[in-house]
Amino acid sequence: MKMRTSAWPLALLYVALVLYASLFPFTGWRLQGVSALAFLTAPLPQFWTGFDVASNLVGYAPLGFLLALALQRSGWQRAFWPLAVGLAALLSLTVEMLQNLLPMRIPSNLDVALNVAGAALGAGLTWVLVRLGGVQRWSQFRAAWFVPQAHGSLVLLALWPLALLYPSSVPFGLGQVWPRLEAVLLPWLQQTPGLAWLSLRVPQPLATTALTDALCVALGLLVPLLMGYADIQTVLRRLVFAVLLLLCAFASVSLSAALTYGPQHVWAWISPIAVQGLLWSALAALAALALPRRACTLLMLLCLLVLLGLLNRAPLSPYFAQSLELWELGRFIRFHGLSQWLGWLWPYAALIFGVRVLLRRSGPA
């Protein structure tokens, strides 16, 4: 029996992660005059590290898990495991072939073998969960906690902690794209009437006050919280969800601080402004527990619009810009772009999702 599942969009997003991490920085493409599959019959690499082995093995395990889960939920009850491994192997083979065209990448038959082994482990975990009834229990849990239409919201909520890993000017302040977009547009608009329009967009003093920063912290937490409220069926379950979301938010932002500034600064983001914003969001979360689903979606959209308006009127501070430079040029060079795009685009995807929900929902809230 086919079922709607959030595993497919999550699997596709993970494929994008694999492609990004494997082909970054996407420059210097050239033909080398060798067969695209020559690496398969080449000797095993003589130089490799434990990190290379672990990253290639572990990196494909979630992909195998998600593909197998998506196939199993889509009706492939008997063949989901080999199909998932086969799709992951095809992706790995394609990536290694494309690496022939990049000067900074070396295709490897060992990488393919480790990728396939990792995908087999992930798909095997899905098989074990299916045999033990774990997938069925998740379906029962989801049916009890969430409304049947809860698919897009679950995907967005699963991505939100990953979006928080990229540093933001204020905790939980996702979607601050205008300062970067302005820097990109400036050279293009030179000697055009558009330059005059761009110069009119002067950052407002209000956007840099402590009060507004605390409001951004609160709104950044309320957006995913209200998104979840809109698809959760009872007040008690909404309360449990709110606690879990706050714990997840703490963990993600703390990990981001540790990755950006070092482990000794894991709690550096907890300032009086952040605490004030956290308190506001907690009070608002309690006040919204009994709101109807439609009201939760409307309030989520309002919070998003205010948050994006405040963040994109504020300039990036020099200290924060330096932090971004350390992140982008440091050890996370392969992954900063993906986390950056998640941090930039997640609020706008949530905005589109909320509008679509309101347009689609015609029944009683």
Q: Check whether 246 has a pLDDT greater than 80.
A: yes
Tokens at 21, concatenated: 């991490």
Q: Check whether 202 has a pLDDT greater than 50.
A: no
DSSP codes joined into one string, 287-304:
HTTT--HHHHHHHHHHHH
Least confident window among 78-87, 98-107, 124-133: 98-107
186 or 67, higher pLDDT = 67
Residues 6 or more apart whose CB falls under 8 angstroms from that of 299 comprise 222, 226, 288, 291
Percent of the chain with pLDDT over 70: 80
Instruction: Give the model's pLDDT for residue 329.
Output: 47
The helix-helix angle for 336-360 and 210-229 (nearest 10°) equals 60
Summarize pLDDT for 206-245 with one digit per residue, the tens. Answer: 445 788 889 999 999 999 999 999 999 789 999 999 999 9
Instruction: Give the model's pLDDT for residue 90.
Output: 95
The helix-helix angle for 235-261 and 152-163 (nearest 10°) equals 30
Contact 98/132 with Cβ under 8 angstroms?
Answer: no
How far apart are alpha carbons 363 and 190 in whole angstroms?
Answer: 51
Q: Check whether 318 has a pLDDT greater than 60.
A: no
* Across 194-203, average pLDDT: 51
Q: Check whether 350 has a pLDDT greater than 50.
A: yes
Percent of the chain with pLDDT over 90: 33
Instruction: Give the model's pLDDT for residue 325.
Output: 54
Contact 174/168 with Cβ under 8 angstroms?
Answer: yes
* Across 241-259, average pLDDT: 90
* 40 CB burial (10 A radius; 0-12, 13-18, 19+): middle
Instruction: Give the model's pLDDT for residue 307.
Output: 93
Q: Check whether 116 has a pLDDT greater than 60.
A: yes
pLDDT band at 204 (very low <50, low <70, confident <90, very high): very low
pLDDT band at 317 (very low <50, low <70, confident <90, very high): low
On average, the pLDDT of the chain sits at: 81
C-alpha pair distances (Å), 124 with each of 14, 68, 79, 116: 18, 8, 12, 12
Nearest to 3 by CA among 62, 65, 69: 69
Least confident window among 136-145, 166-175, 333-342: 333-342
Tokens at 317, concatenated: 């501070």
Instruction: Give the model's pLDDT for residue 137.
Output: 84
Nearest to 66 by CA among 14, 103, 101: 14
Least confident window among 29-33, 64-68, 113-117, 240-244: 29-33
* Across 293-305, average pLDDT: 94
How far apart are alpha carbons 220 and 308 in whole angstroms?
Answer: 10
Q: Check whether 101 has a pLDDT greater than 60.
A: yes
Q: Check whether 141 has a pLDDT greater than 70.
A: yes
Nearest to 122 by CA among 18, 4, 272: 18
* Across 95-122, average pLDDT: 87
